[in-house]
Amino acid sequence: TNPLRRIPAAHPLAPFTALWILSIRWRSIENATLKAAHDKLGPVVCLSPSEVSVNCVKGGIREVYMGGFEKGNGRWGWYEFFENYKGVPNMFSTSANKIHSTRKRMLSNIYSKSVLASSPALLAQTSSIIYGRFLPALSSTFSHAEPGVLNVYALLSGATMDIVTGYIFGLASGSNLLSDPKQLDWFLDLYNSRRSFTFWPQELPVLTSILQSWFRYRLVPSFVDTANAEIEKWTENMCNGAAAVLRQPKTRIEDTPVVYQQLSLALLKEAKKIGSEKTDLIPSIASEVLDHLAAGFDTSGITLVYVVHELSTHLDIQARLQAELLTLSPPIIPSSAPTLPDPKVIDALPLLHAVVWETLRLHSAIPGPQPRFTPAQGCHLGPEEQTYFVPGGVRVSASAGLLHANEDVYERAEEWRPERWLELEKAEEEKKRDMESRWFWAFGSGGRMCVGSHLAVYQMKYIVAALYSNYTTTIFDDTGIEQSDSYTAPPKSDVIMIQLAKHVKTG
């Protein structure tokens, strides 16, 4: 009687048991398995008696994500795993749309493209980080035993963390990983040590917690809890720093804790409006901003490492990008400090934009499935030619990695070809829409779409522009550059070694 039996099954066992898809997830081969299943069976595929995967726009992401399907089914939400401080929810982890949209309304404005592009605080923070930390860190590699050789993944992650926390907490209270290699290593080791332990608590949280509390059997090693606690403490310290800055009568513009300030004021206002007795807003604020800094630094760092890797293997495109960057006024070189070119000018550079967009397409930082649940009344999924009724409470997801591999939309989809975005100038309106908005899904879509997408693009473009205005990069050792098969997909190795050479035109 289960209507999902009419949907092509990814495996003969899929319509009968969830064990098959669980085993696929446990073995970290979900993205590859879904790709093979959709290539063979079409845009709607049954994964278990209560789960489907979609890989189309009409009857797929438009229905599910623009249609506001919730992240939970009333009993369980896959995203609850992203709560911090032992169960304090945040916008990303929240299942119910109503609670989520109240929080999103508090935050959308400060992350909007227009506010970011005209924010004096963000520009001052970015300038200070680019000129005072990022370029000096690059330059210092020439005193290494191997001059100009560096683990670019770590450095880019440090840069994105410093900019994101700079905007959230202000420069004085945010992180300074770029100037402190030991702290950078400390943080990345803690953060990355947890990556392979998500399966049990995320897919089978009840079993995980029963085994631990009743039988004292841990499916997740205790060092993961310790790492979480340390990252939470570190975030709390930045919150305290931001709160102290706000108590001061006067602050430097770059020390403005833009996100912290907005969130704390909005939460206080909401608490007063509903007459809440709750005066300790710190856990809610800290859980929210911890999610932003983690989501923000990790995804942007992953994207940037692939930008650098691709440019290091496409030296012709790298040279064209350097030529484009020479048009900037002032150029982003140490002698221009502290002035940066206007964010709108950076944003409008065509090749820089194409390079970033092509990398977001081919190496999406979140290529894996983004699960939602069908509404109680059920829905129809699949393109017009072949739709299927799916009852309520069924887990359904789409994946950026699969949508971006559609050859009808992105010809030679497996190739990194920034040119495709430059050719769009002359393309028809429909083609443009397909490539730029309908099928481009690096930041998701609908009400739960990435709130930080514009901050991500802002910082990534400045970082790439700063790097290639001063240096040429080639690959030193890229062992493990392949993306992991996971929801957030970093390179398989934490170490990607790049050789820098001073760029003769400006360096």
Residue numbers in the known binding site for heme are 450
Binding segment (CB under 6 A) for ligand HEM, from list 183-191, 299-307, 347-355, 422-430: 299-307
Binds ligand HEM by CB under 6 A, chosen from 442, 466, 489, 498: 442
Tell me whether residue 92 or residue 169 sits nearer to ligand HEM (CB atom).
92
DSSP assignment letter at 448: G
What's the min distance (Å) between Cβ of 305 and ligand HEM? 11
List Cα–Cα distances, 502 to 146, 148, 469, 477, 482, in angstroms. Answer: 15, 9, 9, 19, 27
Distance CA 506, CA 373 (A): 53
Are 60 and 15 spatial neighbours (Cβ–Cβ below 8 Å)?
no
What's the min distance (Å) between Cβ of 374 and ligand HEM? 16
Are 8 and 45 spatial neighbours (Cβ–Cβ below 8 Å)?
yes
Distance CA 143, CA 149 (A): 10
- Binding mask 352-391 vs ligand HEM (x if CB under 6 A, - otherwise)? -------------xx---x---------------------
Q: Residues 217 to 256: which contact ligand HEM by CB under 6 A?
A: none
Q: Residues 61 to 100: which contact ligand HEM by CB under 6 A?
A: 91-92
Using rule CB under 6 A, residue 303 touches ligand HEM: yes
User: Could you give the angle at which helices 97-107 and 258-273 cross, rounded to 10 degrees?
Assistant: 130
Distance CA 436, CA 117 (A): 21
Strand pairing partners for 491?
A: 483
Task: Give the CA dihedral 263, 269, 270, 273, nearest 10 degrees.
Answer: 180
Binds ligand HEM by CB under 6 A, chosen from 164, 231, 308, 489: 164
Binds ligand HEM by CB under 6 A, chosen from 35, 62, 104, 195: 104
Tell me whether residue 11 or residue 404 sits nearer to ligand HEM (CB atom).
404
What's the min distance (Å) between Cβ of 6 and ligand HEM? 27
Tell me whether residue 9 or residue 123 sits nearer to ligand HEM (CB atom).
123
Name the residue number minimizing CB distance to ligand HEM. Answer: 452
Binding residue positions? 450
Pairing label, strands 395-397, 471-477: unpaired
Find the DSSP H helices in 314-367.
Answer: 315-325, 343-347, 350-362
- Binding mask 257-296 vs ligand HEM (x if CB under 6 A, - otherwise)? ----------------------------------xx--xx
Q: Can the peptide bond before residue 330 be classed as cis, meaning omega within 30 degrees of 0?
A: yes
Binds ligand HEM by CB under 6 A, chosen from 443, 462, 468, 471: 443
What's the min distance (Å) between Cβ of 455 and ligand HEM? 4
CA-nearest of 497, 505, 439, 432 to 472 is 505
Binds ligand HEM by CB under 6 A, chosen from 72, 452, 490, 491: 452
Binds ligand HEM by CB under 6 A, chosen from 455, 466, 467, 498: 455
Distance CA 37, CA 191 (A): 32
Tell me whether residue 9 or residue 110 sits nearer to ligand HEM (CB atom).
110
Cα of first residue to Cα of last residue in the chain, in angstroms, is: 69
Binds ligand HEM by CB under 6 A, chosen from 395, 448, 461, 503: 448
Using rule CB under 6 A, residue 396 touches ligand HEM: no
Radius of gyration of the chain (CA): 23
Binding residues for ligand HEM, rule: CB under 6 A, are 91-92, 104, 164, 291-292, 295-296, 299-300, 303, 365-366, 370, 442-444, 448, 450-452, 455-456
